Amino acid sequence: MRRSDRRQSGTLIALPPYEQKDPMAKSAPSFRCSECGATHAKWSGRCEACGAWNSIVEESPLSKVPGSGLGGAKGKLIQLSALDTKEAPPKRALAGMPELDRVLGGGLVAASAILVGGDPGIGKSTLLLQAAAAFARTGLKTLYISGEEAASQVRMRAARLGLADAPVGLGAETSLRDILTTLEAERPDLVVIDSIQTMWSDRVESAPGSVSQLRAAAHELVSFAKRRGTAVILVGHVTKDGQIAGPRVIEHMVDTVLYFEGERGHQFRILRAVKNRFGPASEIGVFEMTGAGLAEVANPSALFLSERGQAAPGSAVFAGIEGTRPVLTEIQALVAPSSLASPRRTVVGLDSGRISTILAVLESRCGIPFTGLDVFLNVAGGMKVIEPAADLAAAAALLSAREDTALPADMVIFGEISLSGALRPVGQAENRLKEAAKLGFSQAIAPTGTKTDGTTGMSMRKLGDLVTFTGEMFGAG
Ligand code: TYD
Ligand code: MG
């Protein structure tokens, strides 16, 4: 039946008289996933939207949040302006910590709201205490509100980090009402809230740590930032068990979202901008956790390659770009006969879906099977690489491990692999090559069509597809 036919034969269904209810005013309990924020009509052990277990919590309606709903009152006209209205660029303050300033998009913007997320124990409090002290020392009026640690604990940490003399106002409090009253009285330039999940508003009935509390607290603090021109930094714990709501729920409310990541066993920490209304996203800052707090790493490539010894099978150096900066990393692969019916595919620091694709392309386009072989792949130093430009370096590491042949130690590799096995050029080739040349590399492999001007003095080999690459490098395929 065609759609027009159906429309002709339809009749209006009879509806009983009904009234449109304000959805905010309903009083029935609702259930929300604390990981992804999806709402559900009833509780269940697993969220159907994101698949997380034990993450669904009951929440009370949002009607108590100020400013929600019209309530029948008449609004006033908002002021409209032209798009080309001249306005000064936002005022920025530099902390004097280059790694942090760059991730913020070139300094801290007044009246901005920033979320810093990360696993518990990764170093968020340490980073933000150092940042608060750095900003305070440049003359910004700075407050640090801890909801997790007692003031004495924070003071002890400050002393250990050599920051005790920084003019930071320290408070240990979790009541949002008291914090906002203090902020109204103090009117600081910057306030750090550590962490947003410990804050509770007496206007919302649900328990501290719930989605409603998290939203209400973030909403009030972000409104304060916009109203008074204070920059607000919110710390958010990433949680796996769903006992407290995760920071994803408030990502949309803030201007900038930074994630602080790193492997537990490694001392390197990466601050990554995943959203920034005032600068490029995907920018990273690299830090090292030392006995005296976080030290900035000005040259991450040198650090990530520092553990590399002699040329060994299974190692390939990828010339990558993180935000606006080139970063070289070593991709390591191990391929071994498997005793399992379905061999292992263990991938750390790279997208495992992409690695499966590369393995499939190697098998069906180049005739190099990995069946019956366990595959382990990781990025040295605990770095995460999300660029598709890493495809060719990952393939090179896999092949090098499988063929037990080392790649030349002075070679960098970059390029994207398409499903057909063709190599696709990637952006910023010159920047990648310059960084590689600076670190002493002298040859590079890149896809045909890569734009280079030859000023780096690197010896370039440009290849059109993966079959040519495997043939040239390993005589396979
Ligand atoms: P912390 O900043 O408390 O983490 P978060 O706020 O993200 O939960 O950092 C906790 C870890 O950092 C802890 O395991 C100890 C380590 N650490 C150092 O190694 N050096 C230091 O100078 C400090 C202050 C902490
Ligand atoms: Mg902390």
Q: How far is CA 62 from CA 43, 205, 216, in A?
A: 18, 9, 8
Tell which atom from ligand 1 comes closest to the C-alpha of 124. Answer: 7
Q: Which of 34-48, 210-224, 264-278 has the lowest mean pLDDT?
A: 34-48
pLDDT of 5 > 60? The answer is no
Work out whether strand 108-109 and strand 56-59 pair parallel, antiparallel, or are unpaired.
unpaired
Q: For residues 69 and 206, what is the distance between their CA atoms, to the nearest angstrom?
A: 20
Q: Ligand 1 centroid to 122 CA: how many Å?
A: 6
To which H or E segment does residue 304 belong?
helix 300-304
Give the rounded percent of residues in the chain with a pLDDT score beyond 70: 91
What's 276's DSSP letter? E
What pLDDT is recorded for position 58? 80
What is the per-residue pLDDT for 477?
Answer: 44
Per-residue model confidence (pLDDT) at position 28: 63
What is the distance between the alpha carbons of residues 130 and 162, in angstroms, rounded to a whole number? 9
- The answer, yes or no, to whether residue 367 has pLDDT greater than 60, is yes
Separation of 157 CA from ligand 1 center, angstroms? Answer: 9
| Nearest Cα residue to atom 8 of ligand 1 | 121
Exposed, middle or buried: residue 43 (CB in 10 Å: 0-12, 13-18, 19+)? exposed
Pocket test for ligand 1, best of 268, 289, 290, 294 (most atoms within 8 A of CB): 289
Atom of ligand 1 nearest to the CA of 148: 6
Q: Is 129 helix (H, G, I), strand (E, B) or coil?
A: helix
Residue 91 binned pLDDT confidence (cut-offs 50, 70, 90): confident
Q: Which helix (H) or strand (E) holds 26?
A: none
Q: Which two tokens stand for residue 242?
A: 């769903």
pLDDT surpasses 70 at 9? no
For residue 128, report the distance from its CA to the centre of ligand 1, in Å.
Answer: 11
Is the Cβ–Cβ distance between 446 and 438 less than 8 Å?
A: no
How big is the CA angle at 271 (ends 266 and 168), to the nearest 5 degrees? 105
Tell me how far the alpha carbon of residue 327 lies from the centroid of ligand 1, in angstroms.
Answer: 26
Tell the residue nearest (CA) to atom 21 of ligand 1.
Answer: 293
Q: What angle do CA 55, 196, 210 make, to 5 degrees?
A: 30
From the CA of 120, how far away is ligand 1's center (Å)?
9
Q: How far is the CA of 167 from the centre of ligand 1 (A)?
A: 22
* Whether the predicted pLDDT of 181 surpasses 50: yes
Give the C-alpha distances (Å, rounded to integers) separating 404 from 353, 369, 393: 24, 15, 16
Q: What is the mean pLDDT of the chain?
A: 88
Residue type, 259: Y
Of residues 424 and 61, which shows the higher confidence score? 424
Closest CA to 270 of 252, 305, 244, 294: 294
**pLDDT beyond 70 at 357:** yes
Alpha carbon separation from 314 to 110, 215, 263, 278 (Å, rounded): 48, 47, 21, 40
Among residues 274, 305, 303, the alpha carbon closest in space to that of 286 is found at: 303
Residues 25, 71: contact at Cβ < 8 Å?
no
pLDDT tens for each residue of 368-425: 999 999 999 999 888 889 999 999 999 999 999 999 999 999 999 999 999 999 999 9
Which residues sit with their C-beta closer than 6 Å to ligand 1?
118, 120-126, 157, 160-161, 289, 291-293
**Residue 42 per-residue DSSP state:** S
Residues with CB under 5 A from ligand 2 (ion): 125
Tens of pLDDT, residue by residue over 295-348, are 999 888 888 887 787 778 999 999 999 988 899 999 999 999 999 999 999 999
Is the per-residue pLDDT at 67 higher than 60? no
Measured by CA distance, the residue closest to atom 1 of ligand 1 is: 123
